[in-house]
Structure 1
Amino acid sequence: MIAQLIRTPFTELTGVRHPVVQTGMGWVSGPRLVSGTANAGGLGILASATMTLGELERAIVEVKGRTDQPFGVNLRADAGDAADRCDLLIRHGVKVASFALAPTRDLIARLKDHGVVVMPSVGAARHAEKVAAWGADAVMVQGGEGGGHTGPVPTTLLLPTVLDAVDIPVVAAGGFFDGRGLAAALSYGAAGVGMGTRFLLTQDSAVPQAVKDLYLQQDLTGTVVTAKVDGMPHRMLRTPFVEELEESGTVRRLGPTLRRTLEFKRASAMSWREVAQDGRAMRRSQGRTLAQMMLAANTPVMLRAGLVEGDTGAGVLASGQVVGVIDDLPTCEELVERIITRADAELRRSRAYLL
């Protein structure tokens, strides 16, 4: 276990040894990966959007049984039971609450009053300004290189605009995979980096080996951003299934979309009323059309097919562009150690240029 070599406002805020975050990836960021990251000194984040409330509590308890280090939980701010999930974090002493969308001012205050660090993810400087004004402790900003739902602006341009906009710790995500990236982010002024695909491709990740092998075969052109899965821009591996989705029309996708909506309802144990409430919340917070809300039900089911069941013929595989430069499967401890060691070396080397 490597000692702390780099101290930043983020490590001070969260109590982790290293400024490295394993992001909350649906069906991927489970107890094993989160505790592996935490024990390596980084911040592991449970992905709760694909869990029921009961499943989330069991996952939190399991992580606490595997590690005594700080960890976080990623929440959907527009979920109908978001307040109940926040109460769960408070009750179990979870250190960090991260959000894919901006939580309300009241929700931020409620978490902070109980010592929970609040870190929303943002895609623009104005979003960072808003949540900072509401009391958020930190923000994570993901550039267009990142996997999953993403925007069009690359990290190298998005990050400085956010850093200029707020004075709270900023974690940079999108395109990071090694110590050079961490050193670069710190040089920009960020307080840490978030990595998704890099942690997916570790021995601690529960993703099936055959799926990991498929990821490792990709080059820098191996991903595509499409709105055909759930109506929003989503970066994923360029598989034959995704290529077929890209070429299909709305009518052709309607039948499978309805079937997956029913499957999602069964898997989530939600009532039709709860599904409708979630849909209305999504429409208010994200401005989605009715068709986009129907497509949104595809995402959990299709990601599970690929990332849990290993069925690349019927599932999608979210991925950042960094998949094209990753060629191994280290443990979380090995990964974090080499990231920190390389970042420390690069930062020390760069001082040689100073007069």
Structure 2
Amino acid sequence: MTGQVLDTPLTRLTGVRHPIVQTGMGWVAGPRLVSAVANAGGLGVLASATMTLGELEAAIAEVKGRTGAPFGVNLRADAADAGERAALLIREGVRVASFALAPTRELIARLKDAGVVVIPSVGARRHAEKVAAWGADAVLVQGGEGGGHTGPVATTLLLPQVVDAVDIPVIAAGGFFDGRGLAAALAYGAAGVAMGTRFLLTAECAVPDEVKRVYLGAAETVVTRRVDGMPHRVLRSDLVDALERSGRLAGAVRALRSAAAFRRVSGRSWRALLADGRAMRRGGELSWAQVLMAANTPMMLRAAMVDGRPDLGVMASGQVVALLSDLPGCAELIEDVVARAAEVLAAQPSHLAR
């Protein structure tokens, strides 16, 4: 355990030792990874969007059996059973609820009243201002360098905009992997950093070894809309190149098959999936064609991240993948990041050392 301590509004808000968040990556952020991050002093976040309610309950119990440290669960605010999942977090005493899409004002209030810390993820200043006005405790801001769904604005431009616009703790994401990045984020005024790809490439991550080797050998990511109709940063591969060349009809047929497959894997009914689709349309103003394409995401990620078939699936990745060449344990990684950040900050003028 590192002796270095970087006390920030994020550590005080969530009760973790270090201002480092492991993002809730679908099919990746399971109990083993989350508990390893929590035990190392970071904020581990379970990815629940690809779990049934029962699976989420079991996953929370497993994390609690592995660690007594605070952790979080990432929820889909537009899911038909979002209220039931929020109730589960409250009942189980989960410390943090994070959201990829903005939760409603009512859901934020319900969680906060029960003592759950609410941290939505945003990709624009106006979205940060909205959730802050609704009572969010903190906000995670991801710049365009980040993996998965992403936006066009670089972290170095988006982060200071949000820091200046809201008076709640801001967590920086997109392009972070080491202590220099953490120090830079703190200098910008952030309360900590969130990392996805860096934690994917750790010893405790359950992603198959053959897939990790693909990541370690990768030199390039690409942003494509062919996965689910929205900008999605993934590793460049033959499959992604083929998706880019495919027509709309082929994409729609593939998406319908993916929806059927996801229904089988998740145990959800077509009625529940349609309810989710209606919620997605209301929340994100998506067309039904885009909602159908969104069914691609969980199954195409599962093919690689669970089944170990990178040739049949897509691999979400931040641009930092080109700089990563090892598979450290979570404790080693967090210790190194914090120690290096402390060194960098100590060498700067006193107003930057936090």
Under TM normalisation by the shorter chain, which class is it? Answer: over 0.9
User: In the alignment, which residue of structure 2 is the partner of 1:274?
Assistant: 272
Aligned to 2:214: 214
Deviations 1:64-87 (A, max 9, x none): 000000000000000000000000
TM-superposed deviation, 1:260: 1.1
Q: Does 1:286 align with 2:284?
A: yes
1:255 Cα deviation after fit: 2.5
Q: CA RMSD for the aligned pairs?
A: 1.1
Matches within 5 A, 1:262-341: 262-341=260-339
Q: Cα offset for 1:155?
A: 0.2
Deviation at 1:124, TM superposition (A): 0.8
- Amino acid in structure 1 at the alignment position of 2:39: N
After superposition, the C-alpha distances for 1:68-122 in whole angstroms (9 at most, x for unaligned) are 0000000000000000000000000000000001111111111011110000001
Report the alpha carbon displacement of residue 254 of structure 1 after superposing the two structures with TM: 2.9
Q: Where in structure 2 are the equivalents of 1:139-218 lying within 5 Å?
A: 139-218=139-218
Structure 2: where are the runs of 5+ without partners?
A: none
Contact 2:80 / 2:279 at 8 angstroms: preserved in 1?
yes
- The answer to whether the 8 Å contact 1:224/1:237 transfers is yes
Query: Would the alpha carbon gap of residues 19 and 62 (structure 1) be closer, same or farther in structure 2, given more than 3 Å must change?
Result: same
The list of structure 1 runs, each at least 4 consecutive aligned residues, that deviate by more than 4 angstroms after superposition, is none
Once the 2 structures are TM-superposed, how far is the Cα of residue 352 of structure 1 from its aligned partner?
8.2
SS in 1 for 2:88: helix
C-alpha displacement at 1:253, in angstroms? 2.4
Structure 1: any 5+ residue segments left out of the alignment? none
Residue 224 (structure 2) aligned to one of 218, 226, 232:
226
**What's 1:236 paired with?**
234
8 Å contact 1:4–1:17 — kept in the other structure? no
- Report the Cα distance in structure 1 between the residues aligned to 2:125 and 2:351, rounded to whole angstroms: 31
The letter for the 2-side match of 1:114 is: A
2:338 counterpart letter in structure 1: I
Q: In structure 2, what residue type is equivalent to 1:266?
A: R
2:89 is the alignment partner of 1:89: yes
2:300 is aligned with what amino acid?
A: M
Aligned residues: 352
Mapped to 2, the partners of 1:252 and 1:13 lie a distance apart of: 47
Residues 118-129 of structure 1: pairs in structure 2 closer than 5 A: 118-129=118-129
Between the aligned residues of both structures, percent identity stands at 68
Which range is displaced more, 104-113 or 186-195? 104-113
Equivalent residue number for residue 98 of structure 1: 98
- 1:115 alignment partner in structure 2: 115
Equivalent residue letter for 2:329: T
Task: State the distance in 1 between where 2:351 and 2:23 align.
Answer: 34
| Residues 261 and 298, structure 1, Cα contact 8 Å, conserved in 2 | yes
Structure 1 residue 3: Cα displacement: 3.1
| Stretch of structure 1 that moved more, 332-341 or 282-291 | 282-291
Report how far residue 39 of structure 1 moved: 0.3
Q: TM-score, normalised by structure 1?
A: 0.98
Counterpart secondary structure, 1:351 = coil
Task: Give the match's secondary structure for 1:235.
Answer: strand
C-alpha contact 1:120 1:131 (8 A) present in aligned 2: yes
CA distance in 1, matches of 2:78, 2:92: 22
